[in-house]
Structure 1
Amino acid sequence: MRLSTGLISFILILLFSCQSKTGKENLSEKSEQKISVFAAASLADVMSKLAKEYQTKSGVKVALNFASSGTLARQMQEGATPGIYLSASPRWMKFACQDGSADSTVCFPVARNSLVAVVPTNSRIDTLPISPTLDFPNSFNGRLAIGDPAHVPAGQYAAEALKSLGCFKLLQPRFLKTKDVRSALMVVELGECEMGIVYATDAMKSKKVRAVGVFPESLHQPIEYWAAKGKHGGSTADSLLKYLHSAEADYIWKKFGFKTIAEPRKSVTNK
């Protein structure tokens, strides 16, 4: 059977149109690939940089949501489904894994931090050799800014350290509890508190405060950041989690003042 020239042209145009449409759809799917990450507030700077580098490398858009680790874990419990959860506390990571919001089989520590006492740059306070022999409550005036220990890991570590120093109950009425560690830093920057307890990485980035003392790790639990795949994370989450332990990411973690973990443990459920 012979086909007319017009019919052949119509078939060719139709085939080209379908291929073009399929190609556009595939390109659209690739360009729309994205992942949401819930991360502790103290990771805002480093995760923004890591996300930017990963997005450039992979083409995957990374949507970041920062808050206290406890707040994020509660949001996940109430139905939020991030691809990855990054907690500043093994306690809240364990909560998320036991709740089923995070995958306990894809869960490990990625970085460490330190706890420091900070004051405004113009403070009269010079340095504080923090130890059980220091009269910490009388080393500053007024209130002490800390993250709320009820849901902010930095506040929980601060409370542990103060209990080890034997001055938690004495200082408790002077606490100015904040919604996250960045807010504790901010009130010291504004001069609303003469002293605050924050992470070393937060103090490092601020030009309005000085770190005057480091809390020895013997006074509190190790400060570890844990990463886990969300229950609907998929292969994109696996890829980003792998990147967080790459040589490139290791350099970025250290640039922002974090200590990296070369051989991560694989479970938080026993912590």
Structure 2
Amino acid sequence: MFRALLIAAVLATPPLRAGAEVLVFAASSLTDALDRIAALWEAGGNEPVTISYAGSSALARQIQQGAPADIFVSANQEWMDALQRSGDVDAASRRDVAGNALVLIAHGDAPPVTIDAALDLPAMLKGGRLSMAMTASVPAGIYGRQALESLGLWQGVEASVAQSDNVRTALAFVARGEAPLGITYATDALVEPDVTVIGRFPEGSHAPILYPAARVAGAQDGGFLDFLTSDAARELWREYGFGDP
């Protein structure tokens, strides 16, 4: 079934202009899945895709400052909204390409917990740090703080939070044992064998986690943006744990 979808998607995708290369700015949490999707695109005889991964906030600011990206894929709606308001993306091209969930992770093996208002996070930290992406600007950190605040847990751990520039760095701190616990996307935890997902935050505790994508104003993408929502790409999004938007 997947092979049939792959062939159909590749045949239906128009080739890029000669000598062109698609430059994608994408949220760090998309790394594994988007690399596979780009490889699938290139396997169909299309021109190369180069992907620059970082926190959505950093990438959005680079685009606003004139960085020559063709496509922006954000980990939240707010940064895409900001670029749309400033006229830096083509609003008509905007679409959601994937969804995600927020989880609490621990270093190594650890028993599961129920994440609710009764969770004693300070006791679980045992004097260590809670690893998160930056809570004021990076989407994973923003969602994490939203969830903790809605459950009444933020005040108890705020002083213990270790903030990182992106969610993959926050994941790495826990994987290396530099922090006993962390908050990441479910998809990030799936690709790191040295962490355990010990709980999933209730969906109602934070805004829906969606990944909007859009063409940068004045850019051309040769059809790669459309390919991100093709049936073949959808199979890969799901393989890496992303939900349908």
Same fold by TM (over 0.5)?
Answer: yes
Identity %: 35
Aligned to 1:140: 125
1:22-60, CA deviations, whole angstroms, 9 ceiling, x for partnerless residues?
xxxxxxx95522110000000011111111111121421
Q: TM-score, normalised to structure 2's length?
A: 0.90
- Counterpart of 2:169, as a letter, is S
Shift of 1:86: 0.0
Q: How does 1:2-21 map to 2 (within 5 A)?
A: none
Residue pair 2:22, 2:221 contacting (<8 A) in 1 also: no
Give distance in 2, aligned partners of 1:160 and 1:72: 22
- Counterpart of 1:39, as a letter, is A
Aligned to 1:179: 165
Structure of greater Rg: 1
Give distance in 1, aligned partners of 2:173 and 2:121: 19
Give distance in 1, aligned partners of 2:43 and 2:19: 14
Q: How does 1:143-182 map to 2 (within 5 A)?
A: 143-182=129-168
Residue pair 2:121, 2:156 contacting (<8 A) in 1 also: no
Structure (1/2) with the larger helix percentage: 1
Give distance in 2, aligned partners of 1:84 and 1:30: 16
- Counterpart of 1:66, as a letter, is Y
The answer to which of 57-66 and 134-143 deviates more is 134-143
Give distance in 2, aligned partners of 1:79 and 1:150: 23
- Counterpart of 2:135, as a letter, is P
Q: 1:235 to 1:64 in 2, by over 3 A?
A: closer
SS at match of 2:159: helix
Structure 2 residue ranges without an equivalent (≥5): 1-15
Q: Cα RMSD (Å) of the superposition?
A: 1.4
Shift of 1:233: 2.1
Structure 1 residue ranges without an equivalent (≥5): 1-28, 262-271
Give distance in 1, aligned partners of 2:27 and 2:238: 17
Shift of 1:164: 0.8
Q: TM-score, normalised to structure 1's length?
A: 0.81
> Which of residues 13, 25, 42 is equivalent to 1:38?
25
Aligned length: 229
> Which of residues 95, 98, 114 is equivalent to 1:108?
95
